[in-house]
Amino acid sequence: MFSMDRADSLIYQLEGCMARPKAFKGELFSGIDLGTAYMVLTVVDSLGNPVAASYRFAQVVRDGVVVDFTGATSILRELKTELEAKLGTELVKGAGAFPPDTGKSTVKSHFYVCEGAGFEVINMIDEPTAANNVLGISNGAVVDIGGGTTGIAVIQDGQVVYTADEPTGGTHFSLVIAGAQKMSFEEAEDFKKDPKNHRKVMFMVKPVVQKVASIIKDKIRGFNIDSIYLVGGTCCLEGIEEIIEDELGIPTVKPRNPLLVTPLGIALSCLGVNTFESRRVEAYY
């Protein structure tokens, strides 16, 4: 099993600078994650050190597709302005991300949101590949369970050899909770996020987690996978890795605060840190 020490250290540093940004060296680079449930903006310096981050609940993306361009651009611009005020400098260069196995129109919509918020977009990268900029896995499968989709990247000898994406994620968990608890979707989201409810939540959503496991099993069929690495906000649920491991029979782990892994990896892709399969903006035009 690959050690999560490096990833956990980077995430710990990022968590520490969310309330108070850190001093930085050289140019700043931003990572923009337009999630189904949360929009996350991260910043690293020229050495790859986490500098600042902020996030906001936002329902502007559905199943990886931007459904509210104006709302997405507005929220991202607000996050950008917020961090610029804290850092005392303008955030210029950044990278965006998209679910794997999606068409050019989806990639372009994410690009245009980033550009519309005032960023010079220098890179676009698929989400699981971005996550591996933080994880640094040589062999295994990175599974990014977000709000609307589950993205999978198979990595062999440090190279992404296969990616896939399916529309199942945290939103489906919240819908199940809302029905079971007879509450609104928004109330279910809050209920799901409270750690003291996690045991009850996992009891309710176990069938959905098992469906996610079946998606993973189908997508990695034919590959020799000895480890699964979970990232994405939905993976913050305590015990989700245990259910997936039981279903697949493959060791499954997750780093601390899985919500922040992909957004940080997106920012790191600006530095050329991503040696796996960086997808430049011009490749989609």
Closest CA to 223 of 148, 160, 145: 160
Total of domains in the chain: 2
DSSP secondary structure letters along 31-69 = EEEE-SSEEEEEEE-TT--EEEEEEEE---EETTEES-H
Residues 190, 156, single domain; the answer is yes
Cα distances from 249 to residues 45, 213, 225, 242, 254, in angstroms, run 40, 10, 11, 10, 16
* Beta-bridge partner residues of 61: 66
Cα–Cα distance, 101 to 131 (Å, whole number)? 16
Identify the residue with better confidence: 125 or 64: 125
Q: Extract the tokens encoding 29.
A: 């680079």
Q: For the ranges 3-7, 26-30, 124-128, 153-157, which has the lowest average pLDDT?
A: 3-7
User: For residue range 58-116, what is the model confidence (pLDDT) as tens digits?
Assistant: 878 776 778 888 998 999 999 999 999 999 999 999 999 988 877 788 889 899 999 99
Residues 122, 147, single domain; the answer is no
Cα distances from 6 to residues 11, 137, 216, in angstroms, run 9, 11, 25
pLDDT at 277: 37
Closest CA to 62 of 33, 84, 35: 35
Kindly report the CATH number assigned to the domain that includes residue 72: 3.30.420.40
Please state the rounded mean pLDDT for residues 4-9. 89
Residues 267, 208, single domain; the answer is no
Residues 191, 79, single domain; the answer is no
Residues 153, 197, single domain; the answer is yes
The mean of the pLDDT values for the chain is: 88
Residues 225, 235, single domain; the answer is yes
Residues 40, 90, single domain; the answer is yes
Q: Domain of 163?
A: 137-259
Residues 178, 202, single domain; the answer is yes
Residues 252, 280, single domain; the answer is no
pLDDT at 279: 43
Residues 239, 225, single domain; the answer is yes
Residues 126, 267, single domain; the answer is yes
Identify the residue with better confidence: 159 or 13: 13
C-beta of residue 123 within 8 angstroms of C-beta of residue 98: no
Residues 141, 241, single domain; the answer is yes
pLDDT at 156: 92
Over 50: is that where the pLDDT of 284 sits? no
